[in-house]
A and B are shown apart, each in its own frame.
Chain A
């Protein structure tokens, strides 16, 4: 982890629960207590109905591949080519991620393929949620 060269997130009070969850290998989302909207990225209110009454919960970690590009250009810490992906969680929200344990090719990366979350520890405090092809 010491020579990790990629950007490292810095949690804020509003996102601390998400990153604490990731460290425990839990994917944390929020749900509005009033209108049941599922919220990501984290914020302590609901952008659908503006109430501040929201609760955190642990998501299933199941998702599907929604869209991506395979970057061919250099980026600090990354070995091109690599896919920058958007996944749609079973609970609804979408998030950017990388797809791991999978070839970074159009043939291997098929839209709507089922995925599951795994957590990659990058510092003492931060584990990044990434996704891999779902097991049987």
Chain B
């Protein structure tokens, strides 16, 4: 990086050091952060980048009231924070964020409010969600949807149509786990998992893997495959607790990540030829289409049901069949990225003709985090 281009403007430790049995680990992060903010005269509202290790940057950001456009949870042991500072400098130079906060808090001795299995009941989700019986993603990620339906008019039939359309795409893909056509009735008659969600509205659970290798664009043509250029990127986190999601009809992390990526890429929605939206459950493409701005609020259900995202439609979406029909190993984002690359190379099983721009949008946790990558196959 360029010398003297980034500076540390605030610095502080926790108010006490040594034995601190009166603070949970998350509050140690916050105590140091608030002291550093006071040191330079800023508040959480001035901060748009967050980095930490040991605890999730989503937990720290939401706890402090930060809405980041840059997030780094790089966790490589005791030197992680040096790496965070380095990444933060690069991020600031690159315009990913303007003010980055790196925090460390560790209740190493007193072990108050530490994460991990044994101490989980002392975390905020352990105290304020787990006692009420959420049993994994099918009964947690789905909780906002009844509110979404009431607020926007989204219907169960429209939700079912997400699975139906993606099965159509999967039917064109010999590597898809599920390829046989299904109907809206099939979806609505499949086994109830967590009302209003039925089996065919939930993702597969399969095995697999994937990898990407990136290099500088000016070297890209030295390699045998058609280069796929990173055109724009975005990221954010909201909350590790689904109950604390600000708006049950819209993901703040989606909106922040998506708008950042579109701004970086300097494109409009009409420039997008191909779209991937991580679909752990049938409602994710609905939220994604609206939060990324492809359609207006409350319009995504009908947009999908009317076949705009189906084969032959104007906005091909989840063309591999998605997590609902192609594969879902638990961390599906890699597979969405692989499909965007295939589309940009022109080698996808269900290839979109003349596609030049692909938007690939991922979710992390349960509306906890988001990342958006926009790719192009046109040379810089």
Contacts A9-B126, A13-B22, A111-B146 given; indicate if A75 touches B195 (C-beta within 8 A): no
Asked if B121 lies at the interface with its beta carbon under 8 angstroms from chain A, I say yes
Chain A, 55-83, contact with B by CB distance < 8 Å: what is the 0/1 string? 00000000000111111111101100110
| CB-based nearest A residue for B144 | A67
Q: Judging by beta carbons under 8 Å apart, are B131 and A73 in contact?
A: no
Which residues 91-142 in B have Cβ within 8 Å of A in the complex? 112-113, 119, 121-122, 124, 126-135, 138-140, 142
A52 at the interface (CB under 8 A from B): yes
- Bound CA span A11–B112, Å: 9
Q: Are B131 and A12 in contact (CB under 8 A)?
A: no
**Taking the complex as formed, is A121 at the interface, i.e. its CB lies under 8 A from any CB of chain B?**
no
**Interface residues on chain A, size class:** 35 or more
**Is A45 part of the binding interface, using a Cβ–Cβ cutoff of 8 Å?**
yes
A65 to B211 Cα, complex, angstroms: 44
Partner of B194, one of A12, A52, A73: A73
Interface string of B29-60 (1 = CB under 8 A from A): 01000100100000111000000000000000
In the bound assembly, the distance between CA atoms of A10 and B22 in angstroms comes to 14
The interface residues of chain A lying within 8 Å CB-to-CB of B147 are: 66-67, 86, 111
How many Cβ-Cβ contacts under 8 Å join chain A to chain B?
153
Task: With A12-B112, A15-B127 as known contacts, state yes or no: A66 contacts B195, CB within 8 Å.
Answer: no
- Given A10-B122, A84-B143, also A41-B37 (CB < 8 A): no
Given contacts A50-B44, A96-B128, contact A12 B34 (CB under 8 A): no
Q: A43 near B113 (CB under 8 angstroms)?
A: no
Output the least CB separation between A113 and chain B (Å).
12
Residues of A within 8 A of B150 (CB): 111-112
Q: What's the interface size class on B, roughly?
A: 35 or more
Give chain B residues whose Cβ lies under 8 Å from the Cβ of A71: 133-135, 138-139, 194
Find out whether the CB atom of B122 lies under 8 angstroms from the CB atom of A43.
Answer: no
Q: Please, which residues of chain A bring their CB within 8 A of the CB of B129? A: 96
Residue B24 CB within 8 A of the other chain: yes
A73/B193 contact (C-beta < 8 A), A44-B27, A98-B133 known? yes
Bits for A37-49, please: 1 = Cβ < 8 Å to B, else 0. 0000101111111
Q: Is B65 among interface residues, defined by CB-CB distance under 8 A?
A: yes
Residues of chain B within 8 A of A94, CB atoms compared: 243-244
Instruction: State how many angstroms separate the Cβ of B84 from the closest Cβ of chain A.
Output: 21
Chain A nearest CB: distance from B39 CB in Å?
13
Using A12-B24, A47-B63 as known contacts, say yes or no to A72 and B195 having CB atoms under 8 A apart: yes
Q: A50-B65, A74-B135, A95-B128 are in contact. List 8 more A-B contacts (CB 8 A).
A: A7-B121, A9-B127, A10-B119, A67-B248, A71-B139, A72-B192, A78-B135, A86-B248
Tell me the A residues contacting B by CB distance below 8 Å: 6-15, 19, 41, 43-50, 52, 66-75, 77-78, 81-82, 84-86, 94-98, 106, 111-112, 122, 128
Interface pairs (17), CB distance under 8 Å: A8-B131, A9-B122, A9-B130, A9-B131, A10-B119, A10-B122, A10-B126, A12-B122, A12-B127, A41-B241, A44-B27, A68-B146, A69-B146, A71-B133, A71-B139, A128-B131, A128-B132
